[in-house]
């Protein structure tokens, strides 16, 4: 049973659900939350402090540094430049 009585809204919700893979309730909650924040009913999430942002970036950098090296050549060798910086 649906609480939505507008057929156009119900079709739109079904299409969005199909496209995103999200359940209708999650789509509605996301949309209502975003609208409530936009009109001031709910507070908008506060942005990260510079320390939090730096910490998050370091987590990403450490994760990237742990990835395997698939090609051990130097960047110039991969691109094809010689010692003078000219393409070979």
Domain span at residue 36 reads: 1-88
Q: Which residues of the chain have pLDDT under 50?
A: none
* Angle, alpha carbons 45-48-52 (nearest 5°): 145
What pTM was computed for the model?
Answer: 0.48
> What span, in angstroms and rounded, lies between the C-alpha atoms of 72 and 63?
19
Of the candidates 33, 14, 32, which has an alpha carbon nearest to the alpha carbon of residue 24?
14
pLDDT of amino acid 2: 65
State how many domains the chain has: 1
pLDDT of amino acid 1: 55
């Amino acid at each position: 049973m649906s609480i939505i009585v507008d057929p156009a809204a119900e079709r739109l919700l079904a299409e969005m659900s199909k496209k995103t893979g999200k359940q209708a309730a999650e789509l509605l909650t996301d949309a209502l939350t975003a609208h409530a924040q936009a009109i001031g009913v709910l507070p908008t999430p506060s942005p990260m402090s510079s320390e939090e942002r730096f910490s998050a970036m370091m987590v990403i950098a450490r994760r990237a540094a742990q990835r395997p090296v698939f090609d051990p050549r130097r960047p110039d060798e991969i691109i094809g430049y010689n010692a003078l910086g000219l393409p070979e």
